[in-house]
Amino acid sequence: MESQPLKRTPLYQKHLDLGAKMVPFAGWEMPVSYPAGIIAEHTAVRNSVGIFDIGHMGLIKIEGEEALGLIQAVGTNNAASLSVNEGQYSILCNEKGGTLDDILVYRLPMLFLIVCNAVNTPKVLPWLTKQAQGFRGVSVSPYENYSMLSVQGPKAQELTAKILAAPISELKHNHCLWWRDILLSRTGYTGEDGFELIVSKKEVEPLWSRFIAEKIQPCGLGARDTLRLEAGLPLYGHEYNEETSPLEAGYAWAVKLEKPFIGRDALLRQKEAGLTKKLVGIVLEEKAVPRAGDLVFATNGSQIGRVTSGTFSPTFKKPIALAYLSAKEAQAGSSIQLEIRGKKLPAKIVAKTFYTR
């Protein structure tokens, strides 16, 4: 079968002009890093501010009389609690309680907007369309003609407010506002304060250029991954998949079992029976960097889990990882071993959130 050509965001040429290294990701050609390098990009976000092109993310609008009913039926969180211009983190599950995708849901004045992972958009869109058939007057469609930027870091508010002349100082976490045809939300994927901007594809290039003109560091997928991993945030295909539940991933707070939704019965059974695996953080003292798939062992030599994501932490100057371990072995502070390139190295179990501001 002939492979599909990679998609490009409207900023593709801008990335090339800035010297970005482009790589395939989730069907898109995206910048992994710029000449400054991943560590410099990561450090800019932790200490100041950085900007990301996230135009590959999926945007899906849900409209109609029973739109809320559909959202409630498919999402684990309680969208009925949302006020207008408020968002929440939620998970789409299959009947077995496995994860189809983790999403952001926004309640806007005339519609609900879902932001989903780029890799899952081709799956989530038809799945939601099928589920919508049971709800009166509901339509599900791509939120076309829009792209996304993410401005992250302790100076994100100051610089975003300056560039857009926008009143965002009082904007609460997970809330959003329309400002001159831009939807700004106080959200992010880095562990820092920041804003995600949904912008017309026609306007995203000049807006990006305004941020770059202010000497804001452009950041690629590499820094986005090290930042999210330090913050203990999941990446679909690593910490989440269709065989892994949000309870196992540590997101029970986004699962409201008091309401019906697809996968609820399976999650209730899992909760009652007790989890068999748990997502944890791991820290190594040696310099070897763990990677997804590396095996985890107890000190007695028995295999107890597998790494889902790993990196060298630019903030803590040591290797860190997320891993699913046998629930009975997943005790914070416990000594374990990671097998990296055939060598077992000492490590410790810690909380999965390594970094908090």
Average pLDDT over residues 64-79: 98
What pTM did the predictor assign?
A: 0.96
pLDDT in tens, 114-138: 999 999 999 999 999 999 999 999 9
Q: How many residues does the chain have?
A: 357
Confidence of residue 319 (pLDDT cuts 50, 70, 90): very high
pLDDT in tens, 18-31: 999 999 999 999 99
Which residues are CB-contacts of 176 (< 8 A; sequence separation ≥ 6)? 85, 86, 87, 106, 108, 183, 184, 185, 186
CA 121 to chain centre: 14
pLDDT of residue 1 exceeding 60, the answer is no
pLDDT, position 357: 84
Q: How many of the other CB atoms lie within 10 Å of CB of 335?
A: 10
pLDDT in tens, 320-337: 999 999 999 999 999 999
Structure tokens at 176: 């959003």
pLDDT of residue 2 exceeding 80, the answer is no
Nearest alpha carbon to residue 331 among 349, 347, 345, 346:
349
pLDDT, position 209: 98
pLDDT-above-90 percentage for the chain: 97
Residue spans per domain, the chain: 276-350
The per-residue pLDDT of the chain, averaged, comes to 97
Nearest alpha carbon to residue 245 among 275, 272, 273, 280:
275
Confidence of residue 207 (pLDDT cuts 50, 70, 90): very high
- What are the helix and strand counts (H, E) for the chain? 8, 19
Superfamily covering domain 276-350? Aminomethyltransferase beta-barrel domains (2.40.30.110)
pLDDT of residue 4 exceeding 90, the answer is no
How far the first Cα of the chain sits from its last, in Å, is 47
Confidence of residue 292 (pLDDT cuts 50, 70, 90): very high
Q: How many of the other CB atoms lie within 10 Å of CB of 315?
A: 17
